[in-house]
Amino acid sequence: MCGIVGYFGKRKASDILVDGLRRLEYRGYDSAGIACVYDGSIDVVKNPGKIRALRERVQQSPLKSIKNATVGIGHTRWATHGQPNEVNAHPHQDVSGHFAMVHNGIIENYKAIRSGLAKHGIECVSETDSEVLVQLIAFCYKGNLEEAVSEALKQVKGTYGIVVMSDHEPDKLVAARCGSPIVLGLGRNETLVASDASAIMPHTRDAVYLEDFDMAVITADGMEMFDLQRAPVNREVMAMDWDAGAAEKGEYAHFMLKEIYEQPSAIRNAIRGRLDFEMGTAVLSGLDFSPRDAAMINRVLVVGCGTSMHAGMVGEYAIEEMAGILAEVEQAAEFRYRNPIITPSDLVVAISQSGETADTLAAVREAKNKGAVVAGICNVVGSTIARETGRGVYLHAGPEIGVASTKAFTCQVSVMLMMALKIARTRRMPLNDGEVLGRWIERMPELVEKVLEQNDAIKAVAQKYAKCDNAFFIGRGYLFPVALEGALKLKEISYIHAEGYHAAELKHGPIALLQKNTPVIALLNDVPGKDKTLGNAEECKARNAPVIAVVSEGDEKIADEFSDVIVVPDCPPCITPVPTAVALQLLAYHIAAARGCEIDQPRNLAKSVTVE
């Protein structure tokens, strides 16, 4: 949610800022702006709407700072406090115009700060919580920018990732974070600041991630880091392993379609070097578990939100079935607030593509505080969840730009299956069974490729239902979370009201809504309970609801019963969520494309949810 870019160097700042903001579009936003400092003044250009409109305004701007500055900050805003308009857009300035700031997060006590400033004659002009912070920094300024930032942040309650500059000290940028990510890119004779590594990848591979309550002061001489008490801190320089070209669409119409087609290679990267066929197990060194450690786990709790939670549900089934131990999945925000019962023998697995999801991060901290062993499954190296858990598994899926998650989901499922295999082999799973499962995991990229070969057939089915307003997805067992994920994908990008249900729940309410223009996507793959789900699909047909049947390859008997069929490769039940999910991703994509929707940046959605 929201995006930050800052630049300090020798090149034209406005060009780098706008390009960086373009690379952050996928995070979701409704307004954007930049501010540059030059020759003793700060100039700001901002507007509601898309980056392309901001680019035009910047290119046409006669402002000297915009034309000449080599220092600046930029922001894409996703509205929380106040409408998406030019006044509420970032960067914000203080009343004197000498300070400018960009902010991600939420200032919880902004009303109290606003009232305190008003008593000193300082009136805010926007509706945002963010503006009060730059006004407070200006109020605290006594000749040293970092001291003013430090003093102001000590009075703040909430979350923030900020970059501040002032024309009083034009040779300096100050960045700070608490709960909202900030990464510094270290280039040659230049330093970049961003909320997401994708904004700085074209310029450098060396990154430093700020931790909570860190503050970085960037000057021409380099960078210094402190805590809010101004004590020096050291943070590791990390190498970013993503290819900048991976964040471009290339020949594809949308990032989402590109990322759907990247899944075979992404899954290969996720499983590469992590399967030991000789021992019939998985090698997940990042977990830092010996076989004895794994054998001591009595329960696995998986926490996540949205797509990550659905991947965790697949893992829940696999761990219970293979390892014979209790596994549970919790929505991370619920876990955070319900005072869960946790013991030292529990393993809490936090799943987050970005590694910055606010509710999941809070669940990690709660689990650690209660004494559990905590591991993370993340895609972004150096992300907060990865650092705070201290153990876990990186997906290595590469950057995922489309807001609707695709390759992250299938890679998360792949990792959960390997985790289940590792735990199961320390318990009751025999060597031969472990090897067989490992071979099937190894084959998952091939299974996905077979689904992608059916793109045209899935597109033909999708076009028949592009005008529907409602849809249901039903499945059982391992396919229940896939039904939830399929419905989520459809509603995210096509704006069709879609719901996923366990097939057994159909008669407990949803069947009342069936009619001839309400398609039901029935997951009829060859898994336990298939016959029951088939009976539910027949009930839908009897009520004139069209059924799209997803069936296993070779199951002609069921395929012949339905006019609309999507075929996925036949594979074991625990493996089938991966190819089935890819088929549903294609279905959702082609429906959304036929409806003319903004697929990569759906309305109201953000890629990384870093606030509650």
Under 8 Å between Cβ of 194 and 185: yes
- The separation between CA 550 and the C-alpha centre of its own chain, rounded to angstroms, equals 28
* C-alpha–C-alpha distance, residues 134 and 165, integer Å: 10
Is there a catalytic annotation at residue 2? yes
pLDDT band for 1, please (50, 70, 90 cuts).
Answer: low
Q: What is the pLDDT of residues 70-89, one digit of tens each?
A: 999 999 987 777 788 899 99
- Residue environment code for 572-607, b if the CB has 16+ CB neighbours within 10 A, otherwise e: ebbbbbbbbbbbbbbbbbbbbbbbebebbbbeeebb
* C-alpha–C-alpha distance, residues 3 and 26, integer Å: 9
Q: Identify the CA nearest to 578 among candidates 277, 341, 348, 310.
A: 310
Q: What mean pLDDT, rounded, does the chain reach?
A: 91
For 409-445, give the DSSP string: HHHHHHHHHHHHHHHHHTTT--HHHHHHHHHHHHHHH
Q: Identify the CA nearest to 366 among candidates 374, 378, 355.
A: 374
Q: Identify the CA nearest to 357 among candidates 419, 307, 286.
A: 307
Judge residue 338's burial from the number of C-beta atoms within 10 Å of its C-beta, 0-12 exposed, 13-18 middle, 19 or more buried: exposed
Taken in order 210, 216, 219, 224, the sign of the CA dihedral is: negative
Which residue do the tokens 């960009």 mark?
102
Which amino acid type is present at position 247?
A
Q: What is the pLDDT of residues 268-282, one digit of tens each?
A: 999 999 999 999 999
Q: How many CB atoms lie within 10 A of CB 154?
A: 11
| Per-residue confidence (pLDDT) for residue 557, from 0 to 100 | 83
Q: Which residues contact 189 (CB under 8 A, 6 or more apart)?
A: 9, 10
* C-alpha–C-alpha distance, residues 217 and 447, integer Å: 50
pLDDT band for 609, please (50, 70, 90 cuts).
Answer: low
Two structure tokens written together for 544? 């004139």
| Per-residue confidence (pLDDT) for residue 339, from 0 to 100 | 84
Range scoring the smallest mean pLDDT among 253-257, 453-457, 462-466, 603-607 = 603-607
Q: What is the pLDDT of residues 356-395, one digit of tens each?
A: 888 999 999 999 999 999 999 998 877 889 888 989 999 9
| Per-residue confidence (pLDDT) for residue 463, from 0 to 100 | 95
pLDDT band for 508, please (50, 70, 90 cuts).
Answer: confident
Conformation bin of residue 460: beta by default, left when phi > 0, alpha when psi is -120 to 50: alpha
* C-alpha–C-alpha distance, residues 306 and 311, integer Å: 9
Residue 244, pLDDT > 70, answer no
Which amino acid type is present at position 372?
A
| Per-residue confidence (pLDDT) for residue 514, from 0 to 100 | 78
Q: Which residues contact 434 (CB under 8 A, 6 or more apart)?
A: 279, 280, 281, 421, 424, 425
Q: Which residues contact 266 (CB under 8 A, 6 or more apart)?
A: 395, 396, 397, 398, 407, 410, 411
Under 8 Å between Cβ of 327 and 376: no
Strands of the sheet with 190-194, listed across from one edge? 41-48, 31-38, 71-77, 3-8, 190-194, 183-187, 206-209, 237-239
Q: Tell me the C-alpha to C-alpha distance, in Å, between residue 412 and each of 136, 271, 315, 349, 489.
A: 42, 11, 9, 11, 16
Residue 250, pLDDT > 80, answer no
Strands of the sheet with 173-178, listed across from one edge? 92-93, 99-104, 160-166, 173-178, 214-219, 222-227
Residue 603, pLDDT > 80, answer no
Under 8 Å between Cβ of 256 and 600: yes
DSSP 3-state assignment of 345? coil
pLDDT band for 563, please (50, 70, 90 cuts).
Answer: confident
* C-alpha–C-alpha distance, residues 526 and 546, integer Å: 21
Cα angle at 92 between 175 and 606, to 5 degrees? 75
Regarding predicted confidence, which is higher, 363 or 537?
Answer: 363
Is the pTM higher than 0.85? The answer reads no
Q: For 45, phi and psi rounded to 5 degrees?
A: -130, 125
Which amino acid type is present at position 573?
P
Residue 607, pLDDT > 60, answer no
- Of 2, 124, 178, 571, catalytic: 2
Compute the average pLDDT of residues 530-534: 88
Q: Which domains does the chain have, with CATH numbers?
A: 3-240 (3.60.20.10), 252-450 (3.40.50.10490), 454-598 (3.40.50.10490)
Judge residue 69's burial from the number of C-beta atoms within 10 Å of its C-beta, 0-12 exposed, 13-18 middle, 19 or more buried: buried
| Per-residue confidence (pLDDT) for residue 611, from 0 to 100 | 54
| Per-residue confidence (pLDDT) for residue 394, from 0 to 100 | 92
Under 8 Å between Cβ of 258 and 599: no
- Of 46, 407, 530, 607, catalytic: 607
Range scoring the smallest mean pLDDT among 246-250, 446-450, 491-495 = 246-250
* C-alpha–C-alpha distance, residues 339 and 584, integer Å: 36
Run of H or E including 271? helix 263-271
Q: What is the pLDDT of residues 588-600, one digit of tens each?
A: 999 999 999 989 8
* C-alpha–C-alpha distance, residues 163 and 74, integer Å: 9
Q: Identify the CA nearest to 599 among candidates 354, 402, 306.
A: 402
DSSP 3-state assignment of 104? strand
